[in-house]
Copies of this chain bind each other. A is one copy, B any other.
Amino acid sequence: MCAVVGVYGSSEAAKVAYYALFAMQHRGQEATGISVADGTQIRLRKKRGLVTSVFHEGNLSQLTGTCAIGHNRYSTAGKESVEDAQPLFARYKLGEIAIAHNGNLTNKLSVRQELINKGAIFQSDMDTENIIHFIAKSQEDHLIDRIRDATYRLEGAFNLMIQSRSKMFVVRDRYGIRPLSLGRLPDGGYIVASETVALDLVGATFLRDVRPGEMLIFEKDAEPVSEQLFEPDYRPDAFEYIYFSRPDSIIDGKNVYEVRVKTGRQLALDAPADVDVVIPVPDSGVAAARGYAEGLGVPFEMGIVRNHYVGRTFIEPTQAIRDLKVRLKLSPIRHLIAGRRIAIVDDSLVRGTTSRRIVRMLHEVGAAEVHMRIAAPEIKYPCRYGIDTPTREELISHSKTPEEIARYIHADSVGFLTIDGLVDALGRDRTYSLVSFDGNYFAGGNADYPT
Known: A121-B91, A132-B121, A136-B121. A250 touches B43 (CB 8 A): no
The segment from A223-231, A268-276, A313-321, A404-412 found at the interface with B is A313-321
CB of A318 within 8 A of CB of B202, answer: yes
C-alpha gap A311/B201 in the complex (Å): 16
**Smallest beta-carbon distance A200→chain B, Å:** 7
Answer yes or no: A185 CB below 8 A from chain B CBs: yes
CB of B22 within 8 A of CB of A328, answer: yes
CB of A309 within 8 A of CB of B91, answer: no
The segment from A53-61, A235-243, A351-359 found at the interface with B is A53-61
The A interface, classified by DSSP as helix, strand, loop or mixed, is: mixed
CB of B186 within 8 A of CB of A335, answer: no
C-alpha gap A51/B132 in the complex (Å): 33
C-alpha gap A320/B29 in the complex (Å): 26
Chain B residues positioned under 8 Å from A82 (CB to CB): 45
C-alpha gap A123/B311 in the complex (Å): 33
C-alpha gap A303/B260 in the complex (Å): 13
Which of B29, B44, B116, B137 has a CB less than 8 Å from the CB of A91? B116
Answer yes or no: A336 CB below 8 A from chain B CBs: yes
A6-28 to B contact mask, C-beta < 8 Å, 1/0: 00000010011011001101100
17 chain-A/chain-B pairs, Cβ below 8 angstroms: A15-B315, A19-B318, A22-B313, A25-B309, A52-B312, A52-B314, A91-B121, A91-B123, A121-B132, A185-B320, A197-B331, A247-B305, A247-B333, A248-B333, A258-B333, A290-B300, A290-B302
Q: A50-B311, A52-B314, A56-B315 are in contact. List 14 more A-B contacts (CB 8 A).
A: A16-B320, A22-B313, A22-B328, A26-B309, A53-B311, A92-B116, A92-B120, A93-B119, A123-B123, A248-B305, A250-B334, A255-B333, A290-B300, A300-B300
